[in-house]
């Protein structure tokens, strides 16, 4: 999802993930949800991520670095210049 939102112009702080895994053999969502809800470590990680987001936003705004508009890039962003050949039907 970060790649998708980055293409839309969003910027992210350092270490933009908060993750948890019990491994491939522990795919029981009820237990996973319970562990995430009651994990002080994950709550602390999420709080630190929120702080990094706020700090980065403050920095971008204070320095005037927050983009006002974003130039589109890539092959779909611009029309192609096509040279017409004499006798071409197009």
Rounded Cα gap, residues 14 and 48, in angstroms: 11
Q: What is the mean pLDDT of the chain?
A: 79
Please state the three-class secondary structure of the chain as a single string.
CHHHHHHCCCCCCCCCCCCCCCCCCCCCHHHHHHHHHCCHHHHHHHHHHHHHHHHHHHHHHHCCCCCCCCCCCCCCCCCCCCCCCCCCCC
Mean pLDDT confidence for 68-88: 67
pLDDT tens for 22-61 read 766 767 777 888 888 899 999 999 999 999 999 988 988 8
Rounded Cα gap, residues 6 and 42, in angstroms: 24
């Amino acid at each position: 999802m970060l790649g998708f939102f980055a293409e839309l112009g969003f910027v992210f702080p350092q270490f933009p993930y908060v993750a948890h895994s019990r491994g491939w053999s522990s795919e029981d969502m009820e237990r996973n949800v319970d562990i995430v809800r009651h994990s002080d470590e994950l709550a602390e990680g999420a709080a630190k991520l929120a702080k990094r987001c706020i700090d980065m936003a403050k920095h971008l705004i204070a320095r005037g670095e927050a983009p006002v508009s974003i130039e589109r890039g890539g092959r779909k962003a611009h029309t192609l210049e096509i040279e017409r050949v004499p006798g071409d039907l197009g």
